[in-house]
Amino acid sequence: MGWKEDNEQLIGWIKRSGCLRSEALEKAIRSTPRHLFVPKKLEAQAYVDDPLPIGEGQTISQPSTVSAMTEALDVRPGQKVLEIGTGSGWQAALLAKLAGREGFVWTIERFNSLAESAKRNLENAGIKNVKVILGDGSLGLKPNAPFDRIIVTAGCPDIPAPLLEQLKVGGKLVLPIGDLYTQQMFLIEKVREGSITRRGLGGFRFVPLVGKHGFDRER
């Protein structure tokens, strides 16, 4: 069985789990080979609904988790998207396809080895509307703000203030908030400057966001 068949089985599993409802996201997953974004030695596990190690103590998130977060983010064509925590680049690739040719994704990674690997992965997958940046994701990316959508793929002690500042009014931010070990996922919507709504999306476990507005250590 080839990767396309494996991917269809994965898509079916995620849909049955209730984490995939959007036709646009389903199309993005179907057209983005996940095996291009995992270490070569783990390619056989690329289409299993599990997180996989990618080096530097980091992981490529479980596909159903990626789907649930991306569904909540609700990226539309033409939007500017900021991702904190590039990892292997798979979620950035999905966001880029949802944003379309008129949209763009900036993604920040703090490990140089992962940033360089993600660049290669995205290039191999033919994704052109993504820029990978090395830096402290908790600071956001002020020169390119404001953003329509922001997603954080690492656990935060609270909402990083720069990310709220860089989110457009009417924009959406999805991030996990909690301690170093377990978090609650939240959808934050910026109603107006200084006013947000917050909706819980369930419990998750992510590696911590390390930085000025995150944790100051891994564990």
pLDDT at 219: 53
The 8-class DSSP code of residue 171 comes to: E
Structural domain contains residue 10: yes
Of residues 168 and 217, more confidently modeled = 168
Cβ contact 123:145 at 8 Å:
no
d(CA 72, CA 211): 25
Structural domain contains residue 20: yes
Cβ contact 45:56 at 8 Å:
no
d(CA 127, CA 107): 13
If you average pLDDT over residues 123-141, what whole number do you get? 97
Whether residue 215 is predicted with pLDDT greater than 90 in this model: the reply is yes
The 8-class DSSP code of residue 75 comes to: -
The CATH number assigned to the domain holding 153 equals: 3.40.50.150
Paired strand residues for 200:
186
Q: What is the mean pLDDT of the chain?
A: 94
Q: How many distinct structural domains can be found in the chain?
A: 1
Structural domain contains residue 217: no
If you average pLDDT over residues 157-184, what whole number do you get? 95
Catalytic residue positions? Answer: 61
Cβ contact 10:63 at 8 Å:
yes
Structural domain contains residue 85: yes
Structural domain contains residue 57: yes
Structural domain contains residue 212: no
Structural domain contains residue 29: yes
pLDDT at 204: 87
Host domain of residue 168: 3-204
Query: What tens digit of pLDDT does each residue of 100-122 get?
Result: 999 999 999 999 999 999 999 99
d(CA 44, CA 73): 29
Structural domain contains residue 213: no
